[in-house]
Amino acid sequence: MADPHTASSVLIAHHDARAGHDLRDTLASDGHRVHVVHDRLATLYQARTGAPDVLLVSVELAGRHDFDLCRQLRFDARTRLVPLILVSDHADQESRVRGLEAGADDFVTTPVDRAELLARVRSLTRLKRYTDEMDSAAAIITTLAVMIESRDGYAEGHCHRMANYATALGRALGLADADLQALHRGGFLHDIGMLAIPDAVLRKQGPLTAEEYRQIQSHTRIGDELCGNLRSLHAIRPIVRSHHERLDGSGYPDGLRGDSIPLLAQIIAIADVFDAITTRRAYREEQPASHALEVLREQVARGWHREDLVTAFTDLVVSGKVGALVEA
């Protein structure tokens, strides 16, 4: 039996009722939930509304010549990412190629080998779980970024720009894809903990009391805890917690020094300084990129950032690869 992770909801669309029911019995015997339909309209309707994990469609129903149904499924945002297996009576190479071109992910030939079919459904279910997770993670991140930016004291678009600056620097440093993804998400969410800081503190005009300053600083720890609740945000926890640390140990919340500050958090910190200076705030106009780079160099001299990281970031700005918009 498939384990709960790979037990899925399968939509079988087969022009031949008997063949469709045979496939259903095979899949149901492995613990999958199965729905069978026999025509195109019902296939489109069920695929759009029934949220299947995998589609199993006979070549005849898909459209042996034009694979029109495959294209319709691929065109629709609701069904675009649902893995699709075509079922064919014969291993006809030409229609196989055309089916794959039209958006099918895999092929099985009848009479279907039970073990092979189950293996394919399981592996495509795993793929679907992964894309589902990505989809919902992306939606959560965008929603949270809008919430963060709607708080006072934030320049509009800060989260987007941070994601762009940080990934550009990460790419220039040759970091791996997983790190670049963390920088992108971390750019959006580094200040997620600000959601828990009272308006009265965030909006306060004039100097903060020591207690209010401590509250603002707590956004790093609170954000770290919030991210601990979502698996897709685990990779950005070091960014969220440590983006206000400084190389000389004078930062917060942990007073980390040197290499003990996660590299990704150091990158976000540099992008944060740059964006804060080059965008307009309630209390001052935006400053030119050259001034922001000057401030970063001063902060290197004070022992806050790694010189090589600021140099790499400066190169990106000078070459126009980031920050072009704020200079305009």
Compute the least distance from the CB of residue 281 to Fe ion, in Å.
Answer: 12
Per the structure block, which two tokens stand in for 208? Answer: 């903060």
Amino acid at 118: L
Q: How far is the CB of 170 from Fe ion (least distance, A)?
A: 16
Tell me the window of 5-13, 185-193, 228-236, 302-310 that interacts with Fe ion (CB under 5 A).
185-193
Q: What are phi and psi of 202, to 5 degrees?
A: -65, -35
Query: H or E stretch including 325?
Result: helix 324-327
Q: How many other β-carbons are positioned within 10 Å of the β-carbon of residue 28?
A: 13
Binding to Fe ion by residue 245, rule CB under 5 A? no
Q: Which is nearer to Fe ion, 90 or 281 (CB)?
A: 281
Nearest residue (CB) to Fe ion, 25 versus 156: 156
CB of 188 to Fe ion, least distance (A): 10
Nearer to Fe ion, 105 or 272 (CB): 272
Structure tokens at 308: 């090589």
Cα four-point dihedral sign 246, 252, 258, 264: negative
Binding mask 290-319 for Fe ion (x = CB under 5 A): ------------------------------
DSSP 284: B
Q: Give the binding range for Fe ion (CB under 5 A) out of 131-139, 205-213, 252-260, 266-274.
A: 266-274
Kindly report the backbone phi and psi dihedral angles of residue 106, in degrees, each rounded to the nearest multiple of 5, phi listed first.
Answer: -160, 170
| Range 80-99, binding Fe ion (CB under 5 A) | none
- With CB under 5 A as the contact rule, which of the stretches 61-69, 143-151, 186-194, 198-206 interacts with Fe ion? 186-194
User: To 10 degrees, what angle do helices 114-150 and 17-28 make?
Assistant: 70
Please choose, out of 85-93, 174-182, 269-277, 296-304, the segment that lies near Fe ion by the rule CB under 5 A. Answer: 269-277
Considering only 7-15, 135-143, 187-195, 253-261, which stretch makes contact with Fe ion by CB under 5 A?
187-195
- Nearer to Fe ion by C-beta: 179 or 272? 272
Does the protein bind Fe ion through residue 191 (CB under 5 A)? yes
User: What SS3 string covers 134-193?
Assistant: HHHHHHHHHHHHHHHHHCCCCCCCHHHHHHHHHHHHHHHCCCCHHHHHHHHHHHHHCCHH
Residue 86 sits at φ, ψ, to 5 deg, of: -90, 140
Give the residue with the Cβ less far from Fe ion, 153 or 303.
153
CB 152 within 8 A of CB 178: no
Q: Is 48 in contact with 74 (CB distance < 8 Å)?
A: no
Closest separation between CB of residue 253 and Fe ion, Å?
Answer: 10
Total of chain residues touching Fe ion, rule CB under 5 A: 2
**CA pair distance 62, 99, nearest whole angstrom:** 8
Smallest distance from Fe ion to CB 216, Å: 9
- The interface region with Fe ion, picked from 43-51, 60-68, 204-212, 270-278 by CB under 5 A, is 270-278
CB of 219 to Fe ion, least distance (A): 6
Using the minimum distance from each CB to Fe ion, give the nearer residue, 30 or 272: 272
- Output the smallest distance, CB 301 to Fe ion, in A: 22
272 binds Fe ion, rule: CB under 5 A: yes
As a residue count, the chain comes to: 328
3-state secondary structure of 56: strand
Contact residues for Fe ion, defined by CB under 5 A: 191, 272
